[in-house]
Chains A and B, each alone.
Chain A
Amino acid sequence: MLEEVLVTVRDNPGIDPSLSVWHWEIPAYLFLGGLTAGILLFASLIVLLGREKDFPFVSRRLPIWAFVALSLGMLALFLDLSHKFYVWRFYTTFQVSSPMSWGSWILLLVYPVIILLTACTLREGYPALGRLVDRFRAGHAGINFACRHRVLVAQWGLILAVFLGFYTGILLSAFSARPFWNTGFLAPLFLVSGMSAAAALVLLGTRSEHERHMFTRIDIVLIAIKLSLIALLLVNLATGSRVQIEASQMVFGGEFAIPFWVFLVIPGLMIPLILEYWELKGTRRAWMLVSPVLVLYGSYMLRQLTVDMGQASSYISYVNAFDPALLELLR
């Protein structure tokens, strides 16, 4: 029998009783970052493979969504900061050991690549926007420049996409202090999940039958990989240290079991997998838009739950002997 109680009260907001320093902002940022990576990856690949003609949506209209997603992601990141006016401090230093520092610099590199990649698609993809930009001399020159270096940009895009996608997972898995995150499967999982989200976006946007077909196939593979990575991640935790085993238990019982299975695995992975399989078989065309929406939802939910569960998992096992909510009377 071990009874471990705090005999003084601890209720540091955000830290106690378990971490809740990150709410929707970081999951949203990770989701949007992953989506950006996925988009960048597909858009760059298509360029590098020279298959622009076969994939009209990806090559012409998709890149700008990377710009939108990344900007929203950075906004979410900014909103998360509790000491906001010091945001510029990210860029006065580079901390080698800090994934977050890597991340902030990667974002800075990714931005121009996305802009260049997008610029070259504007005239065809978004003619109105393209004309607007063309009206300015610098804009006009910019687009021309982007198009001239399209392949180089795509090469960079591919590399950075992989970095960015991995990074969204590494950001969490590098926290050895949070048992649920501390596994090597998080980075590939988030990369694949980002790609899957980007594929879903394609499915939502494309009008080309071929493109849809191809991306449905891609997405099925990605979802299947995701499911296996999740399984591996759980096995990895369940066979780990005491705290990791405890962390893995969270999905089998307690407050996260229902969210995990009912809100993530079934609607975010299983159902779209089945729907997309049916679609491939050509039976249920009416559901066309449902599966990509569910994939996007699942992608976000994966991050949200991962962030929540990681924060809930900890090395600490003591509890307050007295009601910490009473400290509210002092604040």
Chain B
Amino acid sequence: MKRREFLKLSAMLGAGAATPALMTGCASPRLPGSGQVEASPIVCNVCFWRCAGTVYKEDGQPWKVEGNPEDLHSLGRFCTRGSGGLGMYRDPDRLRQPMLRVTENGQQTFKPVSWEEALDFIASRMSNIAETHGEDRLCLLSHGVGGTHFRRLLGAFGSTGFAQPSFAQCRGPRDVGFALTFGEGVGSPDRTDMENSRCIVLIGSHLGENLHNSQVQTWIKAVENRATVITVDPRFSVAAGKSRYWLPIRPGTDMALLLAWIHVLIHEGLYDQDYIARYATGLEQLAEHVLPFSPEWAFLETGISADVIRETAREMARHAPATLVHPGRHVTWYGDDTQRSRAIAILNALLGSWGREGGYFIPERVSLPSYPVPEAPEPRTDWMAEVQKDYPLAPAGITNVVIENSIGDDAFFKGWFVYGTNLPYSVPSSADQIQAAAQSLDLMVVVDTMPCAITGYADVVLPECTYLERLDPIRNSPERQPALAVSFPAFEPRYDSKPAWWIAKQIAERLDLGAYFPWEDYAEEVDWQLQQVGSSLEEMRQLGVKSFPRTTAKFFEPGEAVEFRTPSGRIELYSEMLASFGHDPLPKYAPPRRPPERYFHLSYGRAPAHTFGRTINNPTLFELMPENAVWVNPLVARDFALSSGDYVRLRNQDGVVSNRVRVRVTERIRPDSVFIVHGFGQKDPRLRLASQRGADDNHLMTRVLIDPIMGGTGMRGNFVTLVPEEQLA
């Protein structure tokens, strides 16, 4: 019998019997990896840690992703999300073609259009903006590598407006606080030397749930080496579970604890006297300042017993300088964030851990020339001076301030490019403002891979292909060891999606700015750059990652004279700079607001299976964690007559109600707080998996505590109560 007839017959048989797939199991399935396997180097883009690894295909089908053993970001292993990265490519809900906002029968909708039409539209709107308002009125809101191309495009056009949520909603306060103290920020990847630490202090940092890859790996190495871990968190985080000390702090009172620790270190003479004498200024002022902040005082604020505060401070001192007081990463909490980061920086200075093994190393990157393109025109205005004048100490764009300055006829910004950031879910309670901005902007372009909320505000939506389908800019990150990594496309772009470089180049050409993208294929630029440092695209296709020798020391030499990039050239415990701008030169504590009766601190964080909202619709990762749950203490559950698995809604102090969310009753949280994982509660029905799954913390953050120094959005001043489902009906 010919094979085809046999198959037909068996299909008929199958149709008659109970299970149609009866015959498919005839041959044992082939073992994985026994087919034609192809490998290709990748830099993971599921979060911003950017681990280098390898994508495998088998028989032409996507198979798996693994870490590159030569890579310091991944240390040879990808995290949960990175391992599930192929889901970003597979996701059937991806944006498929460019779309233009049109009005049909008085109704606004999106119309699928050709790239040609979409790009022409953008170029003409840009020219209009230049004519009517000036060519400096565009802003790029971006989070992700592809943003570079649009930055070049807008720079060439005359606009330097640029903001990323990773500043004002994330690391801004810490980088400013550390820069004020040490003359430079922590940067990314964080320059923490955890694998050599003997003592690690985590203030909120929920490593293990926060899955920044090598960060977690080096931390767990320290745990394995029995380093003392001290975790300060209102929740029994995964990290708390691995810690010798868990300090279940009353939310918002970390500053009191930090001041008390400083108090103990100074007044018990436990700080690194040589280091401070050699490198720092302002000890006297600091010592006097912290005099009242005894552990006994801090106990009343934080709920942490004075004994524990003393004991932990001594423990830190015992292991110094191999004691790392972790700088945290997402630190926009209570509006006093730059100051809290200052306190953390000061604590590290007292322990002598900055520039020391087991504390903070000095990172180095490869000096990689940029591709020669014409110099961008001098922008007509200094947009920062114009728009961010209230925050002269902010070294970067403040997303929320940019949004505010895009609303209304006299607003500074007239056009946005939004690349890879889902603003309504990332900037607290910003949906209305973004709506208003969208109304008054002359152009809003959103470049995204998924139909996320932000695309709904756009005039033009451009589908980018995923990181698995494009060549990205060379990764050249400040690290222990300088190294380059290149991400090659493993697959052809699906649907009608295009890489950022192509999109930017196409727009540039329509505006006569083609000279800024003087190649046919971005690969030429990457190859040129690599050639300059003795490598090539071809070599990198083999290696994925290439290390270069260090040219500077990783740590301070004993007794070395160090020039810090602060005004005084020394570590500034006391900040004249802050004083001169009218801020407190030394960190002060102000008690946080307490939740009203039957309300709870709204706490939020990460889960290992997801990166914000960008992975919720990823079928592989959805499978691991399809929704979030609200953590409540059993005492609270009893009050509200709830048990695990029930659904509730959260209502905040201003009456904003969340989507329904599953309850998890657990001892792992303080009775005055509830916790949800950020990124859930998406509403767009085009996200067929993510839509309506769990609650979104962002919309509940109607009370935003602005950091007066750098303009960041403190998100932890919000309170919620629980509304059982039946009470809503």
Binding site for B on A (CB under 8 A): 1, 3, 5, 7-9, 79, 82-86, 319, 321-323, 326-327, 329-330
Contact = CB atoms under 8 A, between A and B. Distances in A.
A189 to B, nearest CB: 31
B663 to A, nearest CB: 10
Contacts of A79: 18
B266 interface: no
Contacts of A85: 22-23, 26
Interface residues on B, range: 20 to 34
Given A1-B667, A79-B18, A321-B664, A9 B625 contact: yes
A7 B634 CA distance: 19
12 contacts: A5-B664, A9-B624, A79-B18, A82-B19, A83-B22, A84-B19, A321-B664, A323-B662, A326-B626, A326-B693, A329-B626, A330-B619
A330 to B, nearest CB: 6
B386 to A, nearest CB: 47
A326 B627 contact: yes
B689 interface: yes
B629 interface: yes
Interface of B: 17-19, 22-23, 25-26, 609, 619, 622-627, 629, 634, 644-645, 662, 664-667, 688-689, 693
B725 to A, nearest CB: 14
Nearest to A329: B689
B18 A84 contact: yes
Contacts of A82: 19
A169 B383 CA distance: 83
Nearest to B26: A85
Contact of A322 (B17, B619, B629): B629
Nearest to A328: B626
B689 A321 contact: no
A9 B607 CA distance: 14
Contacts of A3: 665-667
Contacts of A5: 644, 664
Contacts of B22: 83-85
Return the 9 tightest CB-CB contacts between A and B, nearest first: A326-B626, A8-B624, A85-B22, A322-B627, A322-B626, A329-B689, A3-B666, A330-B619, A84-B22
A318 to B, nearest CB: 12
B627 to A, nearest CB: 5
A319 B665 CA distance: 13
Contacts of B644: 5, 319, 321
Contacts of B666: 3
A324 B619 CA distance: 14
Contacts of B626: 9, 322-323, 326-327, 329
A8 B25 CA distance: 28
A330 B693 CA distance: 14
Given A83-B22, A329-B626, 9 more contacts: A5-B644, A8-B609, A79-B18, A85-B22, A322-B662, A326-B622, A327-B623, A329-B622, A330-B689
B93 to A, nearest CB: 11
A330 B622 CA distance: 9
A226 B597 CA distance: 60
Nearest to B689: A329
B361 to A, nearest CB: 33
Nearest to A3: B666
